[in-house]
Structure 1
Amino acid sequence: MLATPSGPSGPAVPSGPSKPATSATLREINLRTVFDMIRAQAPISRAEVARQTGISKPTVSALLQDLLDLGLVTETERDEQNSGPTYGALFFAPRPQAAHVLALDVGARRLRGAVADLEGRQLAREDADVAGLDAPRIVEAAATLARRLRESAGIRPDLIQHAAIGVPGVVDLREGRIWQALNIPALDGFPARERFGEALGCPVTLENDIHLAALGEQRSGRGRDAASFCFLSVGTGVGAGLVLRGELHRGFAGAAGELDNVFAEDEIERKDPCAGALLRCAARLFPSGSAPASTEELFALARSGDEAAVAAVDEEARRIAGYLAPVAAVVDVELAILGGGIGLNADLLLDRVTERLASRVPYPPRVEVSTLGEAAVLTGAIAVATREALEQILAPRFTAGHRRP
C-alpha cells in the first residue's frame, strides 16, 4: 500500500461546518474503495468486489468501467492458484503501466534516481556524481539523469506523471524553497520546486530527504507495523523524520525533526552524534597522531577490541540516545529506527543505544536499525510520487461535485 503523508499545508484544519456528502462525493469514495480492493487482491472478480465492499453489483460495474476508462485496471485471467470454475466471470487487476513516476534523492556528493510504475516497482535505477556542484547545476544533472532513466526503462517523457525529490534542509511547501541547507552551494533559499519542475517537465513534490526516508521505512522497512515511530539518520549530519498515527508529521513550518535545534550552541559539540563531531571526540581519546581518519575506520577498530575506539563508540551511543530521548519524552513513539552511515552499525550501537535510552526515559521506544540503508529516501520518494500520480488521475474525474464527462 502507498504511504499517505500529510498534504502540502500539513494537517487539515476545520474551516466551518462540514458539508453534506453529494452523490459525486460518494461515487468518488466508492471508486477509490474499489480500486484499493483490486490493488490488494488482484485478480478479483466483479462479484467478489461487490461482496467484500458491500457496494451493489450495478454500481461496482459502473465503477469498474470508470477504472477501465482511466486505464488504471485491466481485465485479466484468474491466477493458476485459484483454478476452480469461474462461470464466465471477468477478473480485474491493476494496470501499473498507466503512468510512471520519477524519484530523486539529492545529496552533496551523489544524486540518486529511479523510475517506477504506479505500483512502485522500480524499472530503472542509477546514481550520478554531483560532488562540488551548486544547486542550479544539480538541477541540470537531475534532468540529464531523468532522461537516462526514462531511456533505460523505455518510457516516453509524457508518461512521467509526477516526480518526488528528497533534498537536505527545511522545505517550505508554500514557496517551494529550501532553507537551512548548507552542504550544497546555493541551495539555501533556492526556488527548487520551480526549477526542478521546469527542468523535468512534470509536476514535482519537494520534501526533506529524512522525511522521505521515514516514509520509505513505513512503506517497506522497519516501520511497516508501527503506528508511530522516529527515523533518526546519523551520518555526515543528523536529521529525524516522525510518523505519528500513520501520518508523516512535518510540523507547522515543515521543520519537525531538526533535533540540532534542541540544544544550545555551546552544547552541540558535546552532544552531536554526526561524523565530524564523533571523529573530533575520537581524536581526544586516541594517542596523538593515531586517531582514525574516518568513522568506518573507527568502527572497524572498535570491532577489533581497540579500547579507545570502544570508548568512542560508547560516547556515540550516549549522544544518539540523547537525541532520541526528547522525541521519546514528548511524542512517546513506539519505535526508533537508526539510519545513515553511522546509524547502520547495528552490532555496535543497537544494544548500547537501547540501554542508554532506557536510563533516560521511563517508556523508551524499541530501537532497531534500518534494513533499507541508502535506499530509504528513494523508497519514500516513490511512495509519495505514486500517491500524487494516482491523485492526478483520479481527482479530475470529480470536480465541484459533478462528474466530468
Structure 2
Amino acid sequence: MIRDTSAQDSLRSPLDIRRRTRRRWLILAAAGLAFVLALAWLVSGWSTGGRSVDASRLRIATVTRGDLVRDLSAEARVITANSPTLYAIAGGTVRLDVVAGDAVSAGQTLASIDSPELRSRLVQEESTLASLEGESRRAGLDARLARFEARKLLDQARVEQTAAQRDLERMQRAFDLGALPRNDLDRARDNLRKAEIGVAAARESHELQLQGTKIDAENKRLLAIRQKAVVDELQRQVDALALRAPFDGQVGQVQVAQGANVAIHAPILSVVDLSEFEVEVRVPESFARDLAIGIPAEVRGNAAMYTASVAAVSPEVVNGEVTARLRFDEGEQPPGLRQNQRLSARIVLDRRDDILRIERGPFLEQGGGRYAWVVEGSSAVRRPIQLGVAGLDAVEVISGLEAGDRVVISGADRFDNADRVRITGD
C-alpha cells in the first residue's frame, strides 16, 4: 500500500503562527537597518571625498618654524693651490737631477740645460759692454780736456783785457799831460774793446764746450748702460738654465727624459706645494648664478669637517656644470691631503632664520609647488600655497600654510588632482 502524507502533518496553534510572523518582521527590520547603515556609510564617503586612499601609502609632514639653510653638496677633488711648471729658457740638452716624487727645498737645482748658443751670446755682449764702457770713460776724459782748453782760452782773453785796460789808463794820463797825441789814445781804446770782445767770445765758447762735451759723455754713458742691461738679461737667462725649486715641495710630473734635446719654452717638470691645497667642485649650471666669491662652505675629510669659502668660479659652463674652487680657512686645512684626493663638499648658498618650513617631497614637483593637500581630520584638502627658497631637506613656506598644519608630501599623485580625498587607516 502507498503511504500518504498524513503522518507528516501536525496541528499548529494560533500562538505559534503569531510567533513565526513576528520573527519574520524582525528579520526584515534588521535587514532594512543594515541597508540604511550601508547607505549612510556610502553617503559619508561621497561627502568626504571622491577618492579614498590608505594612509600607509602617504607620507605626511608637519609645518614647523625654524631655520632653513639652502645649500648644495657635491663631490670635490683636492688640487694644489700652487703647482707651477718649469720651462726651458733656451734650447739645449737637459740634465735631470731629480725624479718625480722627490721632496725638494727652495732654491734646490732640479735640472739644468746646456745651451752653447746662449752662453756664446753672453760672451759677445760682455765684450761689447767692455768696449762701450771704455768709450764712455774716454768721452769723459775728452770732455775734461775740452773744458780745460776752453777755460785756458777764457783766462788768456781776460789777461789780454786787463793789459788793454792798463794801457788805456796810461795813455789817458799821458794824453792829459799833453805828452801823447789823440791817435795813440784812440788806438788804446780800440785795443781794450777788442780784448773785451775776445773775453765774451771765450766765455761763450767755454759754455758751449761744456754743453757739447757733457752731451757726448752722456750719450756714451747711456750706450754703456743699455749694453749693461742686455748683458744682465743674458746673464739672467744663463742663470735660468739651472731650473731651481721656487719653494719647498715635491716634484710632480717630469715631462722630458734624461739627456733629451728640448726647444725653447718646452715644459720640463712641475713642482707641487704640499703646504697649501684647494678643493675643486663641479656645480650644476642651475646653481651657477647663486655662487659668489666668499660664500662659506664645508669640506669633509678624514672623518672631520673643515670650514672653507669659495675662492673662484669659472666663467664658462662645460657639460652643464660650472667649476668652482674652495679655499680652506686659515688653520683649517686637513692634514695628510694628497693631490686628486676625493672629498665631499657642502656650499651654503643662503640661510633663513625663524621661518615657516616644510619637509621636501614629491609634492613640490606636482603642480609646480602651487598647492598642497592639507590633512583635516580623516580627509586631505587641496589648498593653494606659495613656497620660497628650497634647501636639501626643507622648503620655505611663504603663504597658504601655518605652523602645525599636516601636509601630504608624498603619495599625492594618487589623489588625481581631487579637491578632497578621504584618508583611511591609521
TM-score by length of 1: 0.21
More strand per residue: 2
More helix per residue: 1
TM-score by length of 2: 0.20
